[in-house]
Amino acid sequence: MATVGGSPDTRPLTRPELRAWRGMLRSNAALAKALDGRLEAAHGLQLSSYEVLMYLADAEDERMRMCDLASSILLSRSGLTRLVDRLQREGLLERVACSDDARGAFAKLTPAGRQKLRAATATHLEGVRAMFLDLFTPEELDRLGDAWDRVLDHAGWGCCK
Amino acid sequence: MATVGGSPDTRPLTRPELRAWRGMLRSNAALAKALDGRLEAAHGLQLSSYEVLMYLADAEDERMRMCDLASSILLSRSGLTRLVDRLQREGLLERVACSDDARGAFAKLTPAGRQKLRAATATHLEGVRAMFLDLFTPEELDRLGDAWDRVLDHAGWGCCK
DNA sequence: CCCAGGTCGTTGTGCGCGCAATCAGAAGCC
DNA sequence: GGCTTCTGATTGCGCGCACAACGACCTGGG
């Protein structure tokens, strides 16, 4: 029926394959849009802004190099520059010069930023749990985690990005 | 230690939770970027363009209403208008008036579009299999499919969007 | 010491997207 | 039939992002 020949698998996706693949795309889109919308509505904060504040809060001394921050939140360096610009303008973080590398710059959380993050975190975590985590048992979450590790590892993102 | 009180679960994410959640975000980003890059490099086609052609090819008479197309590929109507503009300019599809609703318009695959899709599909499917589907057993894919259904169902996307 | 090559952050530019407004046409109501 | 109301598609506009180019700076080899 299908094209015969041993080339790298190009058959159309089977139903289960389609379900697994397209479901992931749609779920991700739905979750991202919903969570971003909630955060925006409740605190006037973009999801990407939230991620910046969150990584900063987790970092030592609440500060990170622009470069590391960019790769943490999966953004280009130029994109991060502008994002940090906006957050600085809102007073949620500040730029701090780097003493041992005059090229470098830190983004550092301000008290206002810390407070904003606390409020936003409640909203965000509540959403993540309600729309995602709570739908699965701990065992299922582990399975999912394994799956992602497999994907990221195979894509070469576990190590170099 | 943590804040005591029975409010809707706002504790920080546990390690397994974080792994399941952030892994999904990163996997999705990695897959999307990689697949889009391949498609772009091999055929000068965006992932979103590919999706349009694909849905058209699957549709009856290889044509779909703009509206349906937009919701299929999770794009705003205005976004789709421009995307179809571009694809039309490249000759991959054409606009066809709708006889029973003068407001409506169809996007219809051209022979060139069909051919382009055939070539791109090989690249795309190969990528999806290599980077995602092949990493899982059929049983695991079913589990994943179940997971997505749960997420989408709970988000109210199974029915109304 | 000096220079080549790499890295960090910023800026110019273009692109794709969503939102809101708009227009044409359909659908319901009296 | 004439009115309001709704829907499909397009357009104006602003935003956030990536890419490429740039200047400042670090680093290693001669």
Residue B98 approaches strand D within 7 Å at CB: yes
| A46-CA/D10-C1' distance, Å | 29
Nearest residue in chain A measured CA to CA from B12: A125
Residue B24: what residue type? M
What is the 3 state secondary structure string of A32-85? HHHHHHHHHHHHCCCHHHHHHHHHHHHCHHHEEEHHHHHHHCCCCHHHHHHHHH
Identify which of B25, B135, B161 has the shortest CB distance to residue A154: B135
The pLDDT value recorded for residue A7 is: 61
Distance CA(B150)–CA(B147), nearest Å, equals: 5
Mean pLDDT across A97-124: 96
Contact across the interface for A148 and B30, Cβ inside 8 Å: no
Above 90 in pLDDT, residue A3?
A: no
Q: Please give the residue that has the higher pLDDT: either A161 or B50.
A: B50
B58 touches chain A (CB under 8 A): no
Above 60 in pLDDT, residue A142?
A: yes
Above 60 in pLDDT, residue B1?
A: no
Q: What is the pTM of this model?
A: 0.90
Which residues in chain A are contacts of B8 at CB distance < 8 A? 126, 129-130
For the stretch A36-84, pLDDT in tens is 999 999 999 999 999 999 999 999 999 999 999 999 999 999 999 999 9
For chain A, percent of residues with pLDDT exceeding 90: 87
Above 70 in pLDDT, residue B7?
A: no
Q: What b/e string do you get for A120-158 counting C-beta neighbours within 10 Å, with b at 16 or more?
A: bbbbbbbbbbbbbbebbeeebbebbbebbebbbebbebe
Distance CA(B95)–CA(A18), nearest Å, equals: 28
The pLDDT value recorded for residue A161 is: 42
| A99-CA/C1-C1' distance, Å | 25
Distance CA(A63)–CA(A60), nearest Å, equals: 6
Contact across the interface for A23 and B144, Cβ inside 8 Å: yes
Longest Cα separation, chain A: 68
Q: Token match 């029926």: residue?
A: A1
DSSP character at residue A96 = E
Above 60 in pLDDT, residue B160?
A: no
Nearest-5° Cα angle at B157, B153 to B161: 155
A74 touches chain B (CB under 8 A): yes
pLDDT band with cut points at 50, 70 and 90 for residue B11:
confident
For the stretch B75-133, pLDDT in tens is 999 999 999 999 999 999 999 999 999 999 999 999 999 999 999 999 999 999 999 99
Distance CA(B126)–CA(B134), nearest Å, equals: 10
Above 80 in pLDDT, residue A9?
A: no
Q: Token match 């080339």: residue?
A: A7
> Considering only residues 3 to 22 of chain A, which have any Cβ-Cβ distance to chain B shorter than 8 Å?
8-13, 16-17, 19-21
What number of CA atoms fall less than 13 Å from residue A139's CA on the CB side? 1
Residue A140: what residue type? E
DSSP character at residue B109 = E
Nearest residue in chain B measured CA to CA from A139: B16
Above 60 in pLDDT, residue A160?
A: no
Phi-psi region of B67 (alpha: psi -120 to 50; beta: other; left: phi over 0): alpha
Above 70 in pLDDT, residue B15?
A: yes
B82 touches chain A (CB under 8 A): no
Mean pLDDT across B59-78: 96
Residue B91 contacts residue B111 (beta carbons within 8 Å): no
The pLDDT value recorded for residue B42 is: 94
Tokens of A106: 């830190």
Residue A154 contacts residue B131 (beta carbons within 8 Å): yes
Distance CA(B50)–CA(A91), nearest Å, equals: 42
